[in-house]
Chains A and B, each alone.
Chain A
Amino acid sequence: MRRTSGAGHSTVSDPPTHARAVVIGCGIVGNSVAYHLCRLGWRDVVLLDKGPLPNPGGSTGHASNFIYLVDHSKEMTALTVDSVDQYREMGVFTQSGGIEVARTKERMQELTRRMSSAASWGIEPVSLISPAEVKELVPFIDESIIRGGFYTPGVGVVDSLRAGTIMRERAQASGALQVIANTEVIAIDVEHGRVRCVRTTAGEIAAETVVISCGVWSPRVARMAGAHIPLTPAVHQMIDVGPVPRFAGAKGDIEVPIVRDMDTNMYERQAGGDLEIGSYAHRPILYDPEDIPPIERAALSPTEFPFTQPDFEVQMQHALELMPEIVGDEKVGVKYAINGILSLTPDGMPVLGESPDVRGLWSAAAVWVKEGPGTGKALAEWMVHGESEIDLHSSDIARFHEHQKTRAHVRARAAEGFNKTYGIVHPSEQWASNRNVRLAPFHERERLLEAMFFEAAGWERPMWYESNSRLLEEFGDRITRRTSEWESRWWSPIINAEHLAMRERAGLFDLSAFTIFDIIGPGALESVQKVTLRQMEVPVGRNVYTPVLSPNGGFKSDLTVMRLGDDHFRVVTGGAAGMSDKKWFADHLAADGTAQLFDLTSAMTTVGLWGPRAREILASTTGDDVTNDGFKFGSCRTIDVGTVRVLASRISYVGDLGWELYVPIEQGMRLWDMLWEAGRPFGLAACGIGVYGTTGRLEKCYRAHGNELETEYNVVEAGMQAPRVKSEDFVGKEAHLRHRDEEPAAVLCTLTVDDHTSKSGEKRYMLGREPILTRDGKPVADRRGRHSYVTSAGAGPSVGKHILMAYLPPEQAVLGERLAVQYMGERYPVTVAVVGSTPLFDPENARVRS
């Protein structure tokens, strides 16, 4: 339903010639960014829209405006919860409650996962309720076709247009904001890679900071500045039926809980005297920003496209099944039906932050009403303070690799993701579309070894090799089998077999997905020092693993730096965070231009060789000294491997003796083949990323960015503080020094599962993100209100345990502390096995140093 807000119009005026910041787009997020920038002290902020106010015609104007709180994504949940707080404070939130109903057994299991996510992120109250209880709350539902529901009483509906108006008016009242409606941006001038000026139909505004919060138009506006905002406009179908006899005389917009019919990808909500039915079930219908009509040519608003009835046929049937009393009523008519246009991104997350293409150009795009105000606030914090309270790394615009910015990729992934909006998505689920984009030089060898490929940053990486199934027999009982379908999905016991082969002999790893860049020049040392916690002034030929801190001392990233020359540093980081890390380093290069960054990701490939036999294997291919004395742990240098010159770096993320071997990409196959041949006599096994990323590192209690390492936790809490802090200045230093002086609110611990047996007798294995509870089921939260949850989970084949990591409050962070983990609706006993960073396996670290 098109809801016009009761808002008065904002004062509109002609643009000024200069502005501290220009925010383009008066949808929910643009209003919020502008408001929060002003609240945080910026003045001379200009907020523009080409449309009228309060509804300029974007997606906010036709949004269904309801908010569910619980999402499996921590980041999205945090943004949503903060948004609800803001909506409540503005008086535009109507709490209605919401129920996600299950029609299938699989969905009921999924709802238990939602219960877990709610507990992990501290959302309460929530409950699983029976069909009869659903019926009590939503009397017009046919409870006979459902198995139960996930009830969140805190779900509600907002007036997003009114919220936008309030935020605008508050900022205007402070004198910090000028609002200009009916004014279109026609160009954005960029000089020397930096925004200079916004040209509008009403004149030019000089500004060094510009925010694009233009919803589905964002890619078009970004292109004016030569930047990319990878999103695609897509259709969300919605119909409004009424008048509903049961709702006659409804006093408010909503009095009955909103129902999400998860298995049919639909929702039903009361809208005054009507019922609104929305769908994410239809075929993905994607557009380009250029397909959106100008305001004056649109029959409704520009983002309300003509309804395409044939796409909604099945959905009518589904709605009729669930709510026959209303939907089946011959007197209740379809009063309104639209193909509403909203923004989809290739990975389902928003696009936030400063563009890596143009300095001063910020994106606040692909943000929905439910997370709008929170996102606006977080982005404003990021702009003003350099960091937001909520970790936005999954939404960072800098996360996209080049191929991920292409129209074809964006559309392929958006289309694939659309029907998963309410889907049951396995945490390891792989995309099917646009695969095989980035292939290791030895990809063909991996294929012959029957690699099961998982994607990372577009790279195809073996997760395990089916050809290693022979190892299952060899290691027999030492390998835990899983019987539950859910935990067996996207997993194989072969991972554990490869792990054991590596621990006993040696493993060969494809590390092509590393992002690699060099910092070179007289200012290189200063530049690298500036963003790293650890001392970078080390002898040439050393490698240093270091956290990268955010201004508040949280984890921006963690990575490895090799010093290859006095003025030459090589940074190696993971594929997922690679592009945002690259931007972070680029942004902190010496201001005088004496250091430059060169991206070598596509020039170098990396092979990992680890295990007790690794030295013998490498030695058999080289005349260079690779003895423990000749090639110490923590050093790197170039050696000959056959005819290939290899940069070998003695370091390990799996906790065994060995090297990362870097070679020019075209010689990667040769290196692989030589090592493979050389390894044969020593029982070398090809090992997948399952070993590298999970089993190997978990046994060693190594932390991973995005799991344990986030801006919301600091170095001391993660147990990664060094005895001393370097004297040089670096980002986050002040905060880090403070953190060292205070009692940590939480301590990262490693736990092991004591008993995997579920009520049904089946053994179950946690996959991560589950809540940690006391043995009697009480939540565990630290003094900052952060609930304890499993940051990583996986097998430890060498220690014979299933390993979990979690931040625990100091009271619980005690060796031997008995706690529980909630998984699929049941509690399992766990025990704290390590407090801090001492490895579970080989606690003396003898292996890596052997």
Chain B
Amino acid sequence: MRVLVCVKRVPFTGGKMVLAADSMALETKHLGFTISPHEECGVEEAVRLIEANGGESVVLTLGPAEAVEQLRDAMALGIDRAIHLRTDGSEWDPDATAAVIVDAIRTDESATGLFDLIVFGSESADSGGYQVGLRVAHALGRPAVTGLKGVKPEGGSVRCEQEVEGGRDVYVVPMPAVVTVKEGLNLPRYPSVPGRMRAGRKPVATSAPARPAARLELVRLVVPPGQGRRAEVLGSGAAAAPAVVDMLRKIGVV
């Protein structure tokens, strides 16, 4: 089996959002970076699929030179190799992102064969566009199912469980296919030290595609108003319990 998982490097945010001077990005001076959460589960799923079925897993990202850290993180978990589409760090819209990923997949597949599954996150933590996976699927002419909490290959098909209100809808689609997954699909493992060490030796194929013009064009970011209200302090420590119960009564919860 061959699985490709596409990930995005995003800041690991703290409590308060602060924008860079040009308001075009988050100020990340004090922040670390991580693989966007849904995609962490995508990586874990890809690793498990290959552990169970054999084959090859590949991770791909579109991002700045530093995004190689996230590729190494994925490889530390067991992904075999990486494709890095390097940018200058500026914003790419979903349309453009999908286009260069499609090109990269075609190039890779022409050399190594089709990916049975291409895994995306449902949406990225930062820009939340909900569409790159579906655009890639359409361009490649492959079926796509979104928002999955269960992915199970069955013969030439994949059984997909999508979380909906009150339960899960099941889709069974033929492979090769594209899936977008959500956190909760699995509990990603921590990288082992040997895994980390192996990751440093695994191959990363890097290219730097040109950025097409944006059609969903970021103008600026804004921190929404409404933060900064001050909580009414009901007390300190266990002594505050009566005041809490009074409040619960007042608002009708008790």
Contact = CB atoms under 8 A, between A and B. Distances in A.
B189 to A, nearest CB: 6
A297 B190 contact: no
Interface in A297-333: 297-300, 305-307, 309, 313, 316-317, 319-320, 327-333
B72 A316 contact: no
Contacts of A291: 29
Given A297-B18, A332-B193, 5 more contacts: A297-B16, A298-B30, A309-B69, A313-B200, A334-B196
Nearest to A332: B192
Interface in B1-36: 12-16, 18, 29-33
Contacts of B15: 296-298
Contacts of A9: 236-237
B177 to A, nearest CB: 30
B195 interface: yes
A759 B33 CA distance: 58
B41 to A, nearest CB: 16
Contacts of B189: 333
17 contacts: A12-B236, A241-B192, A241-B193, A297-B30, A299-B12, A299-B14, A299-B31, A300-B14, A306-B31, A306-B33, A313-B197, A316-B193, A316-B196, A327-B193, A328-B193, A330-B194, A333-B192
Contacts of A11: 236
Nearest first, the 5 A-B pairs at minimum CB distance are A333-B190, A306-B32, A293-B30, A299-B14, A296-B16
Contacts of A330: 192, 194-195
B94 interface: no
Interface of B: 12-16, 18, 29-33, 69, 72, 189-197, 200, 236-237
B33 A334 contact: no
A8 B239 CA distance: 12
A388 to B, nearest CB: 36
A681 B16 CA distance: 78
A328 B190 contact: no
B12 A320 contact: no
A8 B237 CA distance: 8
| Interface size class, chain A | 20 to 34
B197 A320 contact: yes
A684 B16 CA distance: 72
Nearest to A242: B190
Contacts of A334: 190-193, 196
B194 A328 contact: yes
Contacts of B192: 241, 329-334
Given A309-B72, A317-B197, A335 B14 contact: no
Interface string A731-755: 0000000000000000000000000
Interface in A265-314: 291, 293-294, 296-300, 305-307, 309, 313
Contacts of A313: 197, 200
A334 B188 CA distance: 12
Nearest to A8: B237
A8 B192 CA distance: 36
**Looking at A9, A319, A329, A333, which has the most chain B CB atoms within 10 Å of its CB?**
A333
A297 B236 contact: no
A275 to B, nearest CB: 10
A214 to B, nearest CB: 18
B13 A299 contact: yes
A319 B31 contact: no
B108 to A, nearest CB: 26
Nearest to A315: B193
Contacts of A332: 192-193
Contacts of A329: 192
A316 B193 CA distance: 7
Contacts of B193: 241, 316, 319-320, 327-328, 332, 334
Contacts of A305: 30, 32
A299 B192 CA distance: 23
A316 B199 CA distance: 12
A4 B75 CA distance: 32
B12 A306 contact: yes
B191 to A, nearest CB: 5
Contacts of B69: 309
A298 B196 contact: no
Nearest to B190: A333
Nearest to B200: A313
